[in-house]
Amino acid sequence: MEKLLEQIQKGTVWQFPGGVHPPQQKSLSNGANIARLPLPDKLVVALKQHIGANGKLLVEKGQRVLKGQALTKPVANWSVPVHAPSSGVITEIAPKPSAHPSALPELSVVIEPDGKDEWCTLNPISEPKTLSHTELVDIIHQAGISGMGGAGFPTYIKADTKQKIDFFIVNAVECEPYITADDTLMREHAAEIIQGIELMQQLLDPTICIVGIEDNKPEAIAAMTKAAEHNNKIIVQTVPTVYPSGGEKQLIKLLTNREVPSMGIPADIGVLMHNTGTLYAVQQAVYEGKPLIERVVTVTGNTIHKPGNVWALLGTEIKHLLDCQGFSPVPQQRVVMGGPMMGFTLPTVRIGVIKTTNCILAPDHKELAEPGPEKACIRCSACADACPASLLPQQLQWFAKSKEYDKLQEHNLFDCIECGACAYVCPSEIPLVQYYRVAKVEIKEQQAEKIKADRAKERFDARKERLEREQEERKNRHKRKAPAKSDDEKQKVADALARVKNKSNDGNEKSAVAAAIARAKAKKLEGQNTEIEPDNSEVAKERALRKEQARKYKEQKELSEDATTPDDKKSAVAAAIARAKAKKAAQAQGAQTNPDDANTAPADDKKSAVAAAIARAKAKKAAQAQGAQTNPDDANTAPADDKKSAVAAAIARAKAKKAAQGAQANTDDADTAAPTDDKKAAVAAAIARAKAKKAAKAAEQPDEPSLNDKSTSNVKSEESQTDSPADDKKAAVAAAIARAKAKEAQHTEQSTEPSIDEPSIDEPQTDNVKLQEPQTDSVAENKKAAVAAAIARAKAKKAAKEAQQTQSDEDTDQVAITEPETPSEATPEQTAAEKKKAAVAAAIARAKAKKLQKEGNDQS
C-alpha cells in the first residue's frame, strides 16, 4: 500500500486495455463562461431521474410551489426526492415522455413559472464539521443529489458506505467528444468543488483523494491544483487523452492500478468515485442549503449558432435550450442527448432536462453522418482490440442475435460499459452497442419473471401447506388433545405399578388376579385422556347383511306377487288349507307329547316349523302348476270347483287328525328305544318321506296319472283334462290329498325321532329355514344308515314303477266315460259314483303309504 501511495504521489499513471481517439470537438463550447437562460414557459419535472424507486408525491394540481420546495418524499431504498426548479403553479400531473431512447412516459409534474423565482426556506450550514455523520448524509439525501456524470446512482448511498475506502477518486476526465460541462465548472467553481471533496472526506475518511483530469484541460487542471493547495490529502492527477478513460473501471485502473472484479463495484476494492458536478451539488446542499434543481449542460453542434455551457433548470424542455442558443435545424435533423459516443437520439425535443443530462448535441449531416446499412462481419478483430473491458464484441453480437442469453452471461455481457468504441471502429458499421442494450434488457426481464415465478411458487406452496394444515385440523377437531399429565397423576401410575410388582411376588392365584386388576387400573389412568375411536366394522357388516336379506326377501315377494294372478286365487285357497292342516297337526302333536319330554320341546317345535315350511312350499308349487294349466275360459265353472275344494279340504282334515294320533303312538314307542335305534328309525323315516314325495309327484304329473290320482278325483287322460275344466279342479284336490299324505308321513317320523333335524334330500328348502344334518355318534352307524336309505330308495322306486304300470293297464281296460263340460250338466248319479270312487282311491293311497313306511322300517 505504501509503495502504491508513493507511485501515485509521484504521478504514476497506468494503462487500461483498448480505447480509441475520436475527434475532440471541445473547442466549440469551452471558450465562454457558463450562461444563464431566461425562465421557460413551463417546467416538466420527471419524478424519476435516478436509479431507484420514485418518491411519494407531495403536491397536487393547482397548488403553488416555491423554488426548491420538495415535490416528492423518499419512501423506499435508493429513492431520492425531486424539487421545484422555480416558483409557480402546478398545471398538470401526468405521464410525459422520458429522457430515454424509447421515450416511454414517466409520471411528471408540470409547473408554470410565475417569474418571481421565489425560494423556499433554506437551511445553510456554515460549519459542516459540527454535523454528525448521519446528519450530513441526511442533508445530502433530502437535497435529492444523485450521480450527474453516469447512471444517476443516489449519492447518499455511496456517502453512507460501511466499507473501508482507501482511494476517493474525483472523475473530472470528461473524455467524450463535444462535452465541456465539467471543464467549465472546474474553471469557474474549483473552490466549491474542493469544499464538496472535503465533505466527502469527512464522511468516508479515505487514505487519499485523487482528482483525475485529462491533459487536454490545462485551465481546469490549474484551477483545481490551486484550490487544493491547503489540503495535502488531495492530489490532482493528469491522465492521457484517450476514450473512454472517463469510465469508472478504466479511470480506477489508470490512477490506482486496481481492477474492479466482474459484476463487482469499486467499493469492493476500497475505491469510491464521484463526478465533479455531483461534488458541486453536495457543496451547495450543505453550505447554501439548496437542493439539486439545476446543472451545467453543454449545448453544441454545427446547427447551434452560440454553442456553449448553460445553467439549465431541471425540467427545462430541450427545445428551450436549443432556441436560446440559436438553433438552425436542417432537414432530418438529429438531436442527441449526451455525447456522440454514448448518447442517444431524442424522439422529441419536448423532453425535460434531468439530473444526468450533461450535453445536447445538434449536429449537421457532415458532422455526424447517418450510419450506413449493416454489413456482414469480416472478423477483423478491430472491435476486440478497441474494447476497454477486454470482451469479445463479435461473439457477444452473435449470441445477442440468436438470443442465447446463457452464453451472453457466460461471456460477461454485463461488464460492457456501452462506450461504443467497438461500433466506432467497426468497418461493417454493425450497431454492436444496440445489440448489447437490447440483450441486457431482455435478460433483466427474464430474471424479473423468474423472480416473480419463484415468489408465486413460494406463495402457492405456502397456500397448499396452509390448506393441508387446515384440513388436518378439521379432521382432528373432534379429537381432544391429551393434556400433559400432572405430577399427581404420574405418582398414581407409579404407585399402581409398584403395587402390581409387590403383589406379583406372592405367586398365588389371588395375587395374579390383583395384579391384573392393578394393571388395568394403571392402563386406564394412562389412557383416560386419550381419544378412543370406536370400531364400527362389525356393525357395518351386520347392517350390510340385513340389507342383503331384505333385498332377497323383496325379490322373492315380487316374484310370488308376479306369479299370483286372479286365476291363482283357488290355488292360494288350497295352499292356505294345507298350511292350516299342518299347523293343526303340529298343535295336536305338541298337546299329546309326554311331559317328561319337555326338554325336547324346542327341538320338536323347530322340526314342526320346518315341516310346515316344506308343506307350504309344496302347496305353492302345486298351486303354480295348477294355475299354469288352467284355461282362462274356466271362469264359469267356479261354483262347482269351490264345492269340490271344500270336500277335499274336509277329507284332508280327517287324514291330518288320524296322522296326529298315529304320531302320538309312535312317540310312546320311540321313548323305549335305544339311541342307536332312534337314529336308524330317523333314517328310515327320511326314506319314507322321499318315497311319499315321489309318489305324490307321480300323481301330480298330467301325462302319467297314477292310481291315487284316478281313485281320488276320477280324472281321465290328458286329452280329457284339456277338454274339461272341472277335471283340472279335481286334479288339484288330488294333489292336495297327496301333499297331506306326505305331511302325515313326515309328522309320523318327527314324532318317532325328535332329535333328527334333517329333511329328505329331495324336499325343497326355503331361504328362511335352515335344515340341520343328523348328528351321529359313530361313523359305522352313519354308513349303515346310508346303506339302508339307498336300499329303501331303490325299493320305493321299483314299487312306484309297478304302481304306475298297473294303473296304465287299468286305464287301458276301462272304458272312458265322457264327462259334461260344465258342472251344471252333471247328474246326481254321476256325483255319487265319483264320491265313492274318491273314497276307494283314498283308502288305497293310505294303504300304500303305510306299506311303504313299514318296508322302510324293516330295512332300517
Q: Detail the residues annotated as belonging to a binding site for [4Fe-4S] cluster.
A: 377, 380, 383, 387, 416, 419, 422, 426
Q: What is the largest CA-CA distance in the chain?
A: 168
The Cα–Cα gap between 62 and 426 comes to 53
Helical H runs in 505-592?
509-526, 537-563, 569-592
Rounded to the nearest 10 degrees, how much is the dihedral formed by the CA atoms of 624, 630, 631, 634? -120
Cell of 458: 413460494
Quote the CA–CA distance of 738 and 696 in Å, as a whole number. Answer: 5
Distance, CA of 633 to CA of 640 (rounded, Å): 14
Amino acid at 652: A
Burial (CB count within 10 angstroms: exposed 0-12, middle 13-18, buried 19+), residue 513 = exposed
* Residue among 352, 361, 320 at smallest CA distance from 36: 320
With 0-12 / 13-18 / 19 or more C-beta atoms within 10 angstroms meaning exposed / middle / buried, residue 62 is exposed
CA distance 117 to 810: 150
Q: Which of 598, 593, 620 is nearest to 750 (CA)?
A: 593
DSSP 41: S
Residue 178 zone, left/alpha/beta (φ > 0; ψ -120 to 50; rest)? left
Name the residue among 46, 108, 55 with its Cα closest to residue 77.
55
Q: CA-CA distance, 438 to 452, in Å (whole number)? A: 21
Binding site, annotated residues: 377, 380, 383, 387, 416, 419, 422, 426
From the CB of residue 333, how many other CB atoms can be counted at a distance below 10 Å? 16
Which three three-digit cell numbers place residue 501? Answer: 410388582
Are the C-beta atoms of 624 and 719 separated by less than 8 Å?
Answer: no
Evaluate whether 762 touches 693 at the Cβ level (below 8 Å): yes
Helices (H) and strands (E) in the chain, counts: 26, 16
| Residues ≥6 apart with Cβ < 8 Å to 275 | 147, 148, 149, 150, 170, 171, 172, 182
Quick check: helix, strand or coil at residue 48?
A: coil
Rounded-to-integer distance, Cα 148 and Cα 186, Å: 14
How is 731-778 classified by DSSP, letter by letter? Answer: HHHHHHHHHHHHHHHHHHHHHH-TT-----TTS---TT--PPPPP-S-
> Counting Cβ atoms within 10 Å, is residue 405 exposed (0-12), middle (13-18) or buried (19+)?
middle
List strands edge to edge, sheet with 271-275.
234-239, 208-214, 167-171, 271-275
**268 HSE (CA, 13 A, CB side):** 9
Write out the DSSP string of 153-216: -BHHHHHT--S--SEEEEE----STT--HHHHHHHH-HHHHHHHHHHHHHHH--SEEEEEEETT
Asked whether the CA dihedral 806, 807, 813, 814 is positive or negative, the reply is positive
DSSP labels, 269-309: GTEEEEEHHHHHHHHIIIII---S-EEEEEEESTTBSS-EE
Spatial distance between the Cα atoms of 159 and 144, rounded to a whole number of angstroms: 13
* Alpha-carbon gap, residue 679 to 317, rounded angstroms: 128
